[in-house]
């Protein structure tokens, strides 16, 4: 029986490639998108379903897409935690919400499209401090890839043009995001908000689409 | 002209509008001013997001920088001007064409 994985799909170039790599290894995919509006725009939001349709085509899987709200949680982090820790807390929350949804879907893992050093905040110390929260093990199939490799695969499988279409970047990223977060510091910052309550609300308010864009159970 | 430049943001997915004079906004106060002007507002403390039927959704930072979720510079100017005026009380007295003529529009659609 194939392993089932909750794949975080952001709308960027990397996560669809990571999803494709896992599908090629025999994993069954459940896609999870965290809706970051109003800190991104509708164009960015609409990329996730378009990418899932393309991935379903190239993998032959009928992939369900879960969408969970994330903007309200970003507001809480911005208002109550250290400004420079925004990205670390954002990701810790995304992994945690995704893990809960994935667990309910019968997944054994969650996965992301992270690769080291691609953005300032994507460092080993940060990843370690973000890892502590989710309730499922995390897979990062692209961790050692460079951007050229990832883009080449994205072009080959047809997701590149979707990912690079119009879409606003995240407006709540701080000027100087932390690059060397520790578990202690991340825990302390997460304790400034009702992390568990925020996570539960996001999971409760999440909804699923099938490939036709209809609500899926 | 209350804006120094209208230009694409770093990822070219939106337009950034920079004020001519530096400002230091108290966003809790700004939130109230925007609500009074009938904007819907999300106040994330370090930025506010303002929306209303007559503008594209606009993010305003403490330093007065605005990010407008549109790639049309005319829409960006209009949206930024309405949000900035409501937030600071400084009215925009120049039209979009004056910005174009002054070379302050660095985005597609802003050529004189």
Query: What pTM, to 2 d.p., does this model score?
Result: 0.89
Instruction: Give the pLDDT band (50/70/90) at residue A118.
Output: low
A206 has a pLDDT exceeding 70: yes
How high is the pLDDT of residue A169?
A: 80
| Distance of alpha carbon A22 from the chain centroid | 15
Instruction: Give the pLDDT band (50/70/90) at residue A125.
Output: confident
* In contact, A136 and A6? CB cutoff 8 Å: yes
Q: What is the mean pLDDT of chain A?
A: 91
Residue A143 falls inside a structural domain:
yes
Tell whether A75 is within 8 A of chain B (Cβ).
yes
**B58-61 and B66-68 strand pairing:** antiparallel
pLDDT tens digits, one per residue of B63-85: 999 999 999 999 999 999 999 99
Long-range contacts, stretch A212-217, CB < 8 angstroms, 24+ apart: A213/A49, A216/A64
Which ipTM did the prediction report?
0.79
**The pair of three-digit structure tokens given for residue A195, joined into one six-digit string:** 């992390």
pLDDT tens digits, one per residue of A49-87: 999 999 999 999 999 999 999 999 999 999 999 999 999
d(CA B71, CA B16): 10
Alpha carbon separation from A7 to A18, A27, A52, B85 (Å, rounded): 8, 10, 11, 43
Interchain contact, A75 vs B59, CB within 8 Å = no
Q: Which domain holds residue A184?
A: 4-209
Closest CA to B43 of B29, B23, B64: B29
Residue A38 falls inside a structural domain:
yes
Residue A217 falls inside a structural domain:
no
How high is the pLDDT of residue A173?
A: 87
**The pair of three-digit structure tokens given for residue A185, joined into one six-digit string:** 């510091």
Residue A61 falls inside a structural domain:
yes
Residue A214 falls inside a structural domain:
no
Tell whether A119 is within 8 A of chain B (Cβ).
no
End-to-end, the C-alpha distance of chain B in Å comes to 17
Strand partners, B47: B61
Q: What is the mean pLDDT of chain B?
A: 93
**B15-19 and A138-139 strand pairing:** unpaired
Residue A123 falls inside a structural domain:
yes
Neighbours of A66 (CB within 10 A): 24
How high is the pLDDT of residue A170?
A: 86
Interchain contact, A169 vs B69, CB within 8 Å = no
Contacts A169 to B, Cβ<8 Å: 9-11, 13-14
Q: Mutating which of A168, A175, A176, A192 best tests the B interface, going by the most B Cβ atoms within 10 A?
A: A168
Looking up residue A15, the CATH number of its domain turns out to be 3.40.50.620
Residue A215 falls inside a structural domain:
no
Instruction: Indicate the number of domains in chain A.
Output: 1
Minimum mean pLDDT among A13-22, A124-133, B40-49: which range? Answer: A124-133
- Which residue among B13, B43, B44 sits closest to A168, beta carbon to beta carbon? B13
Residue A188 falls inside a structural domain:
yes
């Amino acid at each position: 029986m194939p392993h089932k994985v909750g794949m975080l799909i952001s709308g960027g170039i990397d996560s669809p490639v990571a999803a494709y790599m896992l599908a090629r290894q025999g994993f069954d995919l459940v896609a999870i998108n965290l809706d970051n509006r109003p800190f991104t725009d509708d164009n960015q939001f609409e990329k996730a379903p378009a990418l899932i349709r393309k991935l379903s085509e190239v993998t032959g899987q009928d992939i369900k897409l879960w969408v969970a709200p994330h903007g309200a949680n970003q507001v809480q982090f911005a208002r109550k935690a250290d400004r420079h820790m925004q990205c670390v807390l954002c990701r810790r929350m995304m992994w945690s919400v995704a893990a809960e949804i994935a667990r309910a879907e019968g997944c054994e893992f969650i996965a992301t499209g992270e690769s080291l050093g691609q953005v300032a905040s994507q460092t080993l110390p940060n990843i370690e401090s973000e890892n502590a929260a989710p309730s499922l093990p995390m897979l990062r199939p692209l961790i050692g890839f460079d951007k050229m490799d990832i883009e080449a695969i994205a072009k080959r499988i047809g997701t590149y043009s979707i990912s690079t279409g119009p879409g606003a970047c995240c407006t709540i990223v701080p000027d100087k995001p932390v690059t060397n977060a520790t578990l202690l510091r991340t825990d302390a910052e997460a304790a400034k908000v009702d992390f568990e309550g925020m996570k539960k609300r996001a999971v409760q308010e999440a909804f699923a689409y099938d490939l036709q864009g209809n609500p899926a159970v | 002209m209350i804006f120094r430049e209208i230009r694409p943001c770093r990822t070219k997915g939106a337009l950034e509008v920079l004020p001519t004079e530096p400002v230091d906004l108290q966003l809790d106060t700004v939130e109230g001013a925007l609500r009074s002007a009938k904007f819907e507002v999300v106040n994330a403390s370090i930025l506010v997001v303002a929306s209303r039927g007559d503008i594209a959704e606009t993010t305003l930072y403490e330093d007065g920088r605005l990010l407008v979720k549109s790639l049309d510079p005319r829409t960006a100017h209009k949206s930024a001007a309405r949000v900035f005026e409501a937030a600071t009380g400084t009215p925009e007295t120049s039209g979009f064409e004056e910005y174009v003529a002054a070379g302050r529009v660095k985005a597609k659609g802003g050529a004189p």
